[in-house]
Amino acid sequence: MQVLRGNIVHAPALGELEALEHGFIVLDDDGTIVSVCPTLPEEYAALPVVDYGDSLVMQSFADMHLHAPQYPMLGMGMDLPLLEWLNTYTFVTEARFSDNDYARRIYKKLAADLIRNGTTRVVMFSSLHTDATLILMEELERAGVTGYVGKVNMDRNCEGLLETTEESKRETLRWLDACDRFKYVKPILTPRFTPACTDELMEWLGKLAEERGLYVQSHLSENQSEIAWVRELHPDCRQYWETYDKYGLWKDHTVMAHCVHSDARECAAMRDANVVVAHCAGSNINLCSGVSPIRKMLREGIWVTLGSDIAGGAALPMYRVATMSIRASKIKRIESSWREEFLTVPEGYYLATSSGHRYFGAKDGFAVGDKLHAIVVSDADFTEAARPLSVSERFERAMYMMSKDSIVSVWSEGRKVL
Amino acid sequence: MQVLRGNIVHAPALGELEALEHGFIVLDDDGTIVSVCPTLPEEYAALPVVDYGDSLVMQSFADMHLHAPQYPMLGMGMDLPLLEWLNTYTFVTEARFSDNDYARRIYKKLAADLIRNGTTRVVMFSSLHTDATLILMEELERAGVTGYVGKVNMDRNCEGLLETTEESKRETLRWLDACDRFKYVKPILTPRFTPACTDELMEWLGKLAEERGLYVQSHLSENQSEIAWVRELHPDCRQYWETYDKYGLWKDHTVMAHCVHSDARECAAMRDANVVVAHCAGSNINLCSGVSPIRKMLREGIWVTLGSDIAGGAALPMYRVATMSIRASKIKRIESSWREEFLTVPEGYYLATSSGHRYFGAKDGFAVGDKLHAIVVSDADFTEAARPLSVSERFERAMYMMSKDSIVSVWSEGRKVL
């Protein structure tokens, strides 16, 4: 057992922030949290202490939507709309991942950059390539990133990057068989989005999800032309989400990225099925898709999490994604003539941490019984404030100001990985 | 004389980008640009060459609106609206600058951080303190930051930080007298904003501006409650801008920050007087002020530049400000159902560089006869792309991805300052 000491800041509920100045986290042998306390109880007094001094000990981040093979094109093609951007940049970049050596180099860097930036849990798209997907899972596991990764299924409508329905099925099974060896990174079924998958493939994936008890991730209602396209492809479905529901892919823990244009009926379907929204504010603005009504969704009891959406999003760090989500909510406030509330900093932090960690079975905040997922942030290099700051104020400033250089240590699944 | 070699990328006009792969900039003894060329003419072949290899040589940035004494509160108080934020955080922080030692520490860091992030020209607010303002000017000049700095005038309506009208006049004159010693940093008259200045002070400042041929900076139409307040204070003025015009402060080269809610009439007044808009996208969103219709202003021939607006803005680097401005323009596109165009990356770059440099008498882009203001950006550490990139593509990626670590050299006023 051991004890971590520092200024502990966590989000035990949406909008709630608990700050313990020079507090303690007591860990079991396997990194499970035994106690979070302002002073160290007598019974733990003899344990070894990892002293983080005056640094902030914060929850690590969960990135609930990103495309690993788009990491090489970060910050590129930002002047194009979604469907053109997919055809000009994205599919060409992803096609490169048929080269295992290239995949190894890129994924090793991605995994390291995730940890350096404090992201310890992910729900991630790979490309359609089975081998590169396994390399990705290996590199994540090695670096200490945990979560779910999906080999992408796409058997129609994608220029220059396509598999046949038969290949898609066969490779999915080959991939799933090879996943047993991973301890911290698990497979998730990943139909790219409705326009990219034939009905036959969707049906097969739905059955597979049920048979093997697998989670599902995909995209939903990102922009208007995409929605119109889905309507053409599935005239029998009234709304986009029903094209997933029809094949058993709309279910508990299904992660749907974007949901920018989801109306009341689509939102109700999310809540009823316990579908998870991965809100990707930066990406939605970069591609002019729209601004998702997150605050409204939260009010309606929908499970909202955040995603960097690399490379529609141009920033991997989830602290940047969190502040961009706050800005997006402020846009909604402006648009509503200040009637709609914006996301506060503690709320943005909750969505970027607790709300995502729940996907993996964790409780909110630093909770007893959960494996520790934490980052240690040093703000010693930040500009000297005009007066002494409280731990909560320092936390708020850190959310806007931190960089990978401020993250001095990272804990993932109870293990110190940086 | 000397020669710089590298991948040169500059913005000779709004929306135009010139990229010279392994091109050359020839400099005179005093750092004046003599030639910008794809191959080195015979006559310069014997000159010493500073070889930046495969790095990008880009224009440096001009930050046309920021508050130096708010640097210590960067990223703080972001959950408050403008007027409350001013009273709770801003005035308290600025009041600290009565302490010259504190001012020295903070301004030394600010000046260094500006250069490290590639900002070589500024139009900047100090606080009301004369001594701290002179310290600020000293530190900027020492670090290589050039431009205009204003001792702030504020003699009413500011909680906890106020000067009498008499003090304001006397200190302004004392400050102006002391400014002669600076070579690269010049004074600019700075009534904080209409609500913070009595009519007597405004009138005096207007006369002073005329007598001494000084430029003016202030704030305009940032948010609705501010506009309503100005209307109450000046029932004789139909619009906010007229409260400046009335006293001779609305004139050629007057920099007006924000202009979020300026209507057609106010915009026409800007164009007619050659008033400069300092657009502060991040700040305007952070404080829920609104999103300024920049694209429309540009179409109408208004002079638009960009400002970080530290600390309403939470990012000092102008490359971050440029991409935030692009995002803000995309919000306008979304709001207009894709009828309004957004700012492209080359346009965002132009606004963050050339458009600002013009304020100081420079021509657009790297122009013959101008002193060199440049940054050298290494993208060697960026993730390996899926295919070889053109210089223009690398430039675009750099605008989204660069950090202070990628800026390996900075030239200001013809001198290498980093």
- Residue B79 touches chain A, beta carbons under 8 Å: yes
The verdict on a CB contact (< 8 Å) between A109 and B383 is yes
Cβ–Cβ gap B72/A385 under 8 Å: yes
Contacts of A330 in chain B (CB under 8 A): 285-286, 288
**C-alpha dihedral sign at B377, B380, B382, B384:** positive
**A1 contacts chain B (CB < 8 A):** no
Q: Hey, of A66, A71, A76, which one would you mutate to test binding to chain B, going by the most B CBs within 10 A of its CB?
A: A76
Please state which CATH number belongs to domain A2-60+365-416: 2.30.40.10
Tell whether the model's pLDDT for residue B29 goes beyond 90.
yes
Instruction: Say whether residue B297 is in contact with chain A using an 8 A CB cutoff.
Output: no
Q: How confident is the model at residue A23, as a pLDDT?
A: 98
CATH number of B61-352: 3.20.20.140
B72 contacts on A by Cβ (under 8 Å): 383-386
Q: Residue type at A400?
A: Y
A58 DSSP β-pair partners: A9, A375
pLDDT for residue B24 is more than 90: yes
**Residue B86 in this model has a pLDDT that exceeds 90:** no
SS (H, E, C) chain A: CEEEEEEEEEEEECCEEEEEEEEEEEECCCCEEEEEECCCCHHHCCCCEEEEEEEEEEECEEEEEEEHHHHHHCCCCCCCCHHHHHHHHHHHHHHHHHCHHHHHHHHHHHHHHHHHCCEEEEEEECCCCHHHHHHHHHHHHHHCCEEEEECEECCCCCCCCCCCHHHHHHHHHHHHHHHHHCCCEEECEEECCHHHCCHHHHHHHHHHHHHHCCCEEEEECCCHHHHHHHHHHCCCCCCHHHHHHCCCCCCCCCEEEECCCCCHHHHHHHHHHCCEEEECHHHHHHCCCCCCCHHHHHHCCCEEEECCCECCECCCCHHHHHHHHHHHHHHHHHHCCCCCCCCCHHHHHHHHCHHHHHHHCCCCCCCCCCECCEEEECCCCCCCCCCCCCHHHHHHHHHHHCCHHHEEEEEECCEECC
Residues 6+ apart with CB under 8 A from B87: B159, B160
- A279, A284, A286, A288: CA torsion to nearest 10: -170
The span from the CA of A409 to the CA of B292, in Å, is 40
Q: Specify the domain boundaries for CATH 3.20.20.140 within chain A.
A: 61-352
Average confidence (pLDDT) over B296-308: 97
pLDDT of A255 strictly over 90: yes
Please give, rounded to a whole number of angstroms, the shortest distance from the CA of B225 to a CA of chain A.
12
A51 pLDDT above the threshold of 90: yes
A403 has pLDDT over 80: yes
Over the stretch B358-388, which tens digit does the pLDDT of each residue have?
Answer: 999 999 999 999 999 999 999 999 999 999 9
**What pLDDT, on a 0 to 100 scale, did the predictor assign at position B88?**
84
Q: Residue A341: pLDDT above 80?
A: yes
B264 CB within 8 Å of a chain A CB: no
- List helix spans (H) across B234-360: 240-245, 264-273, 281-286, 294-299, 318-335, 345-352, 354-357
Closest CA to B359 of B317, B304, B298, B412: B304
Q: Could you tell me if B104 lies within 8 Å of chain A, comparing CB atoms?
A: no
Q: How confident is the model at residue A286 (pLDDT cuts 50, 70, 90)?
A: very high
Name the pTM for this structure.
0.97
Contact status of B54 with chain A (Cβ, < 8 Å): no
Tens digit of each residue's pLDDT (9 = 90 or more) over B352-365: 999 999 999 999 99
- ipTM metric: 0.97
Region B18-38 average pLDDT: 98
Q: B122-154: per-residue pLDDT in tens?
A: 999 999 999 999 999 999 999 999 999 999 999
A78/B396 touch (CB, cutoff 8 Å), yes or no: yes
A289 CB near a chain B CB, below 8 Å? yes
A302-329 residue pLDDT tens: 999 999 999 999 999 999 999 999 999 9
Q: Kindly state whether B384 is in contact with chain A, defined as any CB-CB distance less than 8 angstroms.
A: yes
Residue B277 β-bridge partners: B256, B304
pLDDT exceeds cutoff 90 at B80: no
> Could you tell me where in chain A the CATH 2.30.40.10 domains are found?
2-60+365-416
Of B74-83, B187-196, B302-311, the least confident: B74-83
Query: Average pLDDT of chain B?
Result: 97
Report pLDDT for A159: 79
CA distance A357 to chain B (A): 25
Residues of A in contact with B109 (CB under 8 A): 383-384
Q: Nearest residue on chain A to B392, judged by CA atoms? A: A76
Q: A81 pLDDT exceeds 90? A: no
State the average pLDDT for chain A: 97
pLDDT reported for residue B160: 83
**Backbone dihedral angles phi then psi of residue B113, each to the nearest 5 degrees:** -65, -35
